[in-house]
Structure 1
Amino acid sequence: MRKLLPLLSTNPHGGGRSALTCRYRCGDACFHEVPNTSDNEYAGDVIAGALSRRSLMRATAVVTVATAAGGAVVAQAAGGPEAVAATPGGHVKHGRSDGARGLRFAPVAPNKDDKVTVPDGYAQSVVIRWGEPILRGAPAFDPDKQTARAQAGQFGYNNDFLSLLPLKGERGRQVLVANHEYTDEMLMFKGYDPENPTREQAEIAWAAHGLSVVVVQEEHRTGKLTPVTRHPLNRRLTATSVFELTGPAAGSPLLRTSADPAGRKVLGTLNNCAGGTTPWGTTLHGEENFNQYFANGSSVTDKRYGLGSGATERKWERFDKRFDAKQEPNESHRFGWVVELDPYDPDSTPRKRTALGRFKHEAAQPRLTADGRPVVYMGDDERFDYFYKFVSSRRMMKGNSRRAREHNLTLLDEGTLYVAKLTGDSPQDVDGTGKLPNDGEFDGSGHWIPLATGDESHVPGMTADEVYVFTRLAGDKVGATKMDRPEDVEPSPRTGRVYVALTNNSDRGKPGKAGADEANPRNLNKHGQVLELAEHWDDPASDGFAWRLFLVAGDPEDPATYFAGYPKERVSPISCPDNVAFDPYGNLWLSTDGNQLGSHDGLFGVATHGERRGELKQFLTVPTGAETCGPIIQERRVLVAVQHPGEVDGASVEKPASHWPDGPGRIVRPSVVAVYRKDGRDIGV
């Protein structure tokens, strides 16, 4: 029997994110009162009578199939081909000793090295750094002479979600799309005074937010990628670019401002976190912690989204009144949406899709129904907030004709928005410690509660416009299940099962807060979990589902952890799962944010099916102060966005906490990294 992989001692800063990250990334969200003060039922308290007879019968059938097969929400229940070879107690048979296909590498040990650490036999290279020019006329990066005009033509700051799209007719080239979530002015500007930022600094930050589109060239022998500067598809969208509001709430009085009395044009996109790639070749980008950019909020302007009552951290309201909620109370309503971008049309206007609801979108990942309608799964990254899906009423047209592309760009404007309610099947066994119920698993059923369809509201006392603009309030009213920060969501392209990263919730179980339930089984939850969901009969448009916790994160030696029944002495320790992705073999890959086990954050692969289901192995770690974001797992390479390196309390340009990626004497720069095998073979085989 192999020994457990080593853990490090506790982080001297208390583990997890630094205070500097909390300030600039989310506006100290975890230090403020939880916005959700509703008294929704806990998942374990929901009785079967709350479901329709049809939903209950279907949920029972799915759970029965899953339990009989002995696995967590197994492939038969989701319509897939494989069963999980496990007993109800979770003991599995094991095959090859070197791992599941795609995960055959020596796991990286937890560490605190100021570099990207990869497995033996693998190499890495930086694809693109903050400030590298991608548009014609943009200058080379010079941190001492940076301007807003220069930054608007350069790769943005704090890269998060990544998408790689094919580029027909240009051999070895792909289109890389990146989110730029937020700026950390302390690490961008020498001598930065947070109480007195200059207009130029604010405008540079506006230009460093948003999205980048850049064509990359593959080096055939290694899998290395390099940017193709000044390619005609290259593009920057910033906090001052024009975006269009579309869908049922577009033009609503709730979205009108003095600068846009029609309520249909927005300047900019902010705090873009994770996202998704559509089957019709566009990308989706979730606007997350938008609240922190707006000053002087009140009970009238906030509506449960966490706007502060005073000045903001960055003080942008000094330079543009739209960031002052007292002067422009509706401007904040124009953020918190899912943005759809067409990377193949550099002249197109990106669209904010109001039919998908407004909240702190971590991600938006679609799949198709059997008849070709997209279904988009979305998490709201806040303690005790909700998990959603949108089902389009229109079918995707195949092909790449102009007519097909124009049609497909309307798919996310018409349909029904739902929120999830989960029911545990062993509520009497959940005591808040993470101890498994007597049936050996945290599992149950659930149903989707409709919120709005087009101009019709399904929520008593709310208009359709109110449902879309104040979606959190709609979730409160219908009694959705409070979750532990639902972040990235990804349907498996092989089985259709949906995986939800629930990062953590240290407030669960505190006085006056919701206690543990079967989907969120630990009070004071600092390590998080991963939910696995199977729609009824593999129909994404279904009104019900079965669910199970696939992974309960933390130190494997802690009894309050679970790895789909796989022996815990054979897995890597993991804490705070955030972004999720799949490799070509059906393995789930998890990046972490705020590791509470004393190591740097990293990227992990875990088998989701077969005899090694639950086997989790660490593939890489990121440098000091950094977070692992935007993983893409291709056959020959792994891409990660290394976000906020050096973001450690007390750090500044003059006193850097990291020297990555360019070494001592150079400014710390968020960057995209490619990892590939030295022998040129496929990843993990």
Structure 2
Amino acid sequence: MRRRSVLSLLGLAGAGLLASRTEAQSVGVPKPLAKTLGKTKTVQAGTWPFQPVPTPLPVSSDGLAAPQQQQHYRQLAVEDRLVVPEGFRSDLLAAWGDPLAQGRFGFNNDYLGFVPRGENEALLVVNFEYISPLPWVDGFAEVVDQPLPWQALVSALAARDGLIDASRLPADDPLLGLIRAVTDQAMADLGVGVIHLQRDGQGIWRRSVDRRERRVDGLAGWQDPAQRLQATGPATAVFAAPQRLGYDDGLGVAVIGTFANCAGGTTPWGTVLSAEENFQSQVPEAVYADGSASEPGAMPLVCRAGALAGLGNPYGLAGNKYGWMVELDPSDPGSTVRKHTALGRFRHEAVAMRATAGEPLVVYSGCDRRGGHLYRFVSESRVTRPEDPANSRLLEAGELQVARFAADGTGEWLPLLPQTPVQPFAPGRFQAAGLSCPVELPHSDRARAGAELFRDDAAVAAYARRFPTLADLYRGDGEALQGAILIDAHLAASAIGGTPTARPEDTEIDPITGDLLVAFTSGAPGSSGGADPAIFSGPRGEASWGHGWVMRLSDESSRFRWRMAVTGGEPWAGGLGFTNPDNLAIDRGGNLWIVTDRSTKSAASDQFGNNSCWFIPRLGDGESAACFAIGPMESELTGLCLDRQERALFLAVQHPGEVNGRRLAGAEEYQAHRLQDRDGVTIEQLRRVPLGSNWPSQAPGRPPRPGVVVVQRLDGQPLLGA
């Protein structure tokens, strides 16, 4: 329940200002994350190396008895700022609109890749994922210091409900000029950037402009062909094919720009991989059986109040060239940026890499959609030296595999190869658990692009008989056939029986055990798919659990073992105290850092408050965790990474003010939440919540700006103490 109507309900219509809480508290985690110790700092649960940031929920380890919790959590005032522990500082490194190379620091920064260049110098690679229309449009003129004809374009498209296939407009059409005046600016705020950092005299990381700074935006190469990205791997045979079923952009293996850059990873040889995730919001996702793209008109430009999508449409971008893993060398601003198609095309999130001398290079990634899959890439050739820049070539050839989980804690990797049998997940398994999720497969009319939804086991069985292998579903000769499969990796993986999972957001390698940790952000079902309830169930067996997990996976050749290490949710429901784990980081001591990604557009999870950053110690009997940071209003904390000395934590503050834009005149609302103390007794909580944001300026009426911060101790010691 939201807004001021709750005051009357609680009999608090005359309530005065609520006091902010100052006591620290922490919450629990089911099991220690490993049994072995490294030689670096490992934290014992309950002996916190910092003063935990107070959270809005009562938790099992807050040190309060039930009567104290009743008093302590009754009222709460939420703040529009980045809250960090006492004894720490946060410093802004860069924010939307700051000059950067030939462009500007983009919008909605996400993944951060820290590449050290010595003890006191580093390059930081920053993803710019998407546009939040309200704060972007509202703040554009003030932040960028340029006009934006947004309202004129919205008015011009109003009779079309804000939709238009701009790719078909003549080049001299005035409407196309108006469209480009908006979409060019939006594309300039997407992609990837590189900023240069140096430590100052106090040991604080600061941005320092340098020739190595770089900007690769959504239209890189549109005007200057020398700036185009290049594709590698099997899909290049599709891009260069002389004939195709679908759309041809005429560029061969060259690619215009990159966008939807969400998570990523840093390689042992110093490059950064940037994951193109929700590309389907800007270009058509559906492809034909030969891997060729749908016409640009399949994803028209959308421009109306509160909505901006289909940004690839005015430029005629080919949808099959987006949704890839992108590699950038931050140390060489003139180097070619590459899209490695051997890693598959899907809504990429995260990348974890295992590079061992004498072994194949192994890369893990996930597809962040409801029912998306977990993938493993195994290179054809072997690593000679993990730090060798030539290892980039290993990403051009190998085998992409999808995970199939078993309920007994085991699993296997299935290859996305032409000869792999088609044996889809049965939709009846959803229905048996009380869920109505369909199974999404390549369309049975192979002359059509895209997917078909199946809800009947008999229909799925008939589909498998009609298309016995992936070679029967996809078209092409030689490498072009493999390329078509990889371009349509999500549907191909569904066809061969990859387990539908709970939106895999991040993958990280445990430096002590070598295990893979995977953040699954939500098991809630969707209209086109859901998570296997035999694998992704709630603490009490709930078939649909929207609060997420962190899984620990131990690879064993073509098989693996798995277990859930962390469960999100309210403590009284069996969760850890936060919801929707997103990005992960693991320090040298094996302690786990998590940031959360709950939707601020829905009231369904308002009880968890603003998105936050959590610290989970590796060992101990206390089954505890601590909140390290809480983000500003309507924001998400993303991109967490540590510097080499682990004296600094970098965070990206994404989409502050996404729902309400800039905060004006102290706008706020009151929320009522029904919580539980440690004895299971209800706590009626009243919260005062700002509407909109003024972060990072904190000045009333100023527009919010996504930005990147560094958090360090005031005394200059390591984050977890000396």
Give your verdict on TM over 0.5.
yes
User: In the alignment, which of 215, 221, 234 is matched to residue 236 of structure 1?
Assistant: 215
- CA separation of 1:640 and 1:177: change in aligned 2, threshold 3 A: same
- Mapped partners of 2:552, 2:397: distance in 1: 27
Q: For residues 145-185 of structure 1, give each alpha carbon's deviation from its aligned partner in whole angstroms, at most 9, with x where no partner exists.
A: xxxxxxx52211111000111114xx611101000001223
Structure 2 counterpart of 1:641: 652
Counterparts of 1:285-684 in structure 2 under 5 Å? 285-294=274-283, 311-314=300-303, 323-324=312-313, 331-369=318-356, 371-398=358-385, 404-405=388-389, 407-425=390-408, 444-452=409-417, 459-461=470-472, 462=474, 463-507=481-525, 516-521=533-538, 522-536=542-556, 542-559=557-574, 561=575, 573-594=577-598, 596=605, 597-607=607-617, 609-612=618-621, 614-634=623-643, 635-649=646-660, 657-662=692-697, 663-684=699-720
Q: Is the 8 A contact 2:278 2:347 kept in 1?
A: yes
Q: Is the 8 A contact 2:370 2:503 kept in 1?
A: yes
Q: Is the 8 A contact 1:251 1:262 kept in 2?
A: no
The answer on 1:114 being equivalent to 2:93 is no
Structure 1 counterpart of 2:260: 271
- Mapped partners of 1:322, 1:575: distance in 2: 31
Moved more, 106-115 or 486-495: 106-115
Q: Is the 8 A contact 2:367 2:505 kept in 1?
A: yes
Q: Highest Rg: 1 or 2?
A: 2
User: 1:355: Cα distance to partner?
Assistant: 0.2
Given residue 124 of structure 1, which amino acid in structure 2 is its aligned partner? Answer: S
- CA separation of 1:376 and 1:12: change in aligned 2, threshold 3 A: farther
User: 1:622: Cα distance to partner?
Assistant: 0.6
User: In the alignment, which of 147, 152, 156 is matched to residue 106 of structure 2?
Assistant: 156
- Mapped partners of 2:296, 2:236: distance in 1: 22
Given residue 184 of structure 1, which amino acid in structure 2 is its aligned partner? Answer: S
SS at match of 1:575: coil
Q: Is the 8 A contact 1:355 1:454 kept in 2?
A: no
Structure 2 counterpart of 1:52: none
SS at match of 1:484: coil
User: 1:224: Cα distance to partner?
Assistant: 2.5
Given residue 605 of structure 1, which amino acid in structure 2 is its aligned partner? Answer: F
Given residue 559 of structure 2, which amino acid in structure 1 is its aligned partner? Answer: G
- Mapped partners of 2:256, 2:573: distance in 1: 48
- CA separation of 1:340 and 1:574: change in aligned 2, threshold 3 A: same
Q: For residues 211-266 of structure 1, give each alpha carbon's deviation from its aligned partner in whole angstroms, at most 9, with x where no partner exists.
A: 11111111252x4322112x111100011111100012113158889875363000
Structure 2 counterpart of 1:200: 181
User: 1:616: Cα distance to partner?
Assistant: 1.7
The answer on 1:248 being equivalent to 2:248 is no
Alignment gaps of 5+ in structure 1: 1-8, 15-70, 83-93, 136-151, 426-443, 537-541, 564-572
- Mapped partners of 2:293, 2:318: distance in 1: 15
- CA separation of 1:447 and 1:132: change in aligned 2, threshold 3 A: same
Q: For residues 56-107 of structure 1, give each alpha carbon's deviation from its aligned partner in whole angstroms, at most 9, with x where no partner exists.
A: xxxxxxxxxxxxxxx969757xxx668xxxxxxxxxxx967423xxx54324
- Mapped partners of 1:586, 1:251: distance in 2: 42
- Mapped partners of 2:298, 2:523: distance in 1: 24
User: 1:598: Cα distance to partner?
Assistant: 3.7
Alignment gaps of 5+ in structure 2: 7-29, 57-76, 139-148, 158-177, 221-227, 423-468, 475-480, 600-604, 668-690
- Mapped partners of 1:320, 1:550: distance in 2: 37
- Mapped partners of 2:518, 2:294: distance in 1: 22
- Mapped partners of 1:358, 1:251: distance in 2: 15
Structure 1 counterpart of 2:123: 175
Q: For residues 17-67 of structure 1, give each alpha carbon's deviation from its aligned partner in whole angstroms, at most 9, with x where no partner exists.
A: xxxxxxxxxxxxxxxxxxxxxxxxxxxxxxxxxxxxxxxxxxxxxxxxxxx
Q: For residues 318-350 of structure 1, give each alpha carbon's deviation from its aligned partner in whole angstroms, at most 9, with x where no partner exists.
A: x9999349x95x800000000011111111111
SS at match of 1:624: coil
- CA separation of 1:11 and 1:490: change in aligned 2, threshold 3 A: farther
Given residue 341 of structure 2, which amino acid in structure 1 is its aligned partner? Answer: T
User: 1:476: Cα distance to partner?
Assistant: 1.2
Moved more, 578-587 or 281-290: 578-587
- CA separation of 1:81 and 1:305: change in aligned 2, threshold 3 A: farther
After TM superposition, the score normalised by the length of structure 2 is 0.68
- Mapped partners of 1:618, 1:73: distance in 2: 17
User: 1:610: Cα distance to partner?
Assistant: 2.8
Structure 2 counterpart of 1:134: 100
User: In the alignment, which of 51, 69, 73 is matched to residue 105 of structure 1?
Assistant: 51
- CA separation of 1:648 and 1:265: change in aligned 2, threshold 3 A: same
Percent sequence identity is 32
After TM superposition, the score normalised by the length of structure 1 is 0.71
SS at match of 1:188: helix
SS at match of 2:579: coil
SS at match of 1:506: coil
SS at match of 1:383: coil
User: In the alignment, which of 175, 193, 218 is matched to residue 212 of structure 1?
Assistant: 193
- CA separation of 1:664 and 1:298: change in aligned 2, threshold 3 A: same
User: 1:399: Cα distance to partner?
Assistant: 8.1
- CA separation of 1:283 and 1:159: change in aligned 2, threshold 3 A: same
Structure 2 counterpart of 1:48: none
Given residue 645 of structure 1, which amino acid in structure 2 is its aligned partner? Answer: P
Given residue 100 of structure 2, which amino acid in structure 1 is its aligned partner? Answer: I
Given residue 105 of structure 1, which amino acid in structure 2 is its aligned partner? Answer: Q
Q: Is the 8 A contact 1:10 1:598 kept in 2?
A: no
Q: For residues 382-429 of structure 1, give each alpha carbon's deviation from its aligned partner in whole angstroms, at most 9, with x where no partner exists.
A: 0011000101122334387xxx43x2221101111100001112xxxx
User: 1:684: Cα distance to partner?
Assistant: 2.2
Q: Is the 8 A contact 1:130 1:671 kept in 2?
A: yes
Q: Is the 8 A contact 1:637 1:674 kept in 2?
A: yes
Given residue 417 of structure 1, which amino acid in structure 2 is its aligned partner? Answer: L
- CA separation of 1:96 and 1:115: change in aligned 2, threshold 3 A: closer
Structure 1 counterpart of 2:429: none
SS at match of 2:236: coil
Given residue 98 of structure 1, which amino acid in structure 2 is its aligned partner? Answer: T
The root-mean-square deviation of aligned C-alpha atoms, in Å, is: 3.8
Structure 1 counterpart of 2:205: 225
SS at match of 2:319: helix
- Mapped partners of 1:642, 1:320: distance in 2: 22
- Mapped partners of 2:190, 2:717: distance in 1: 36
Q: Is the 8 A contact 2:366 2:373 kept in 1?
A: yes
User: 1:363: Cα distance to partner?
Assistant: 1.4
SS at match of 2:122: strand
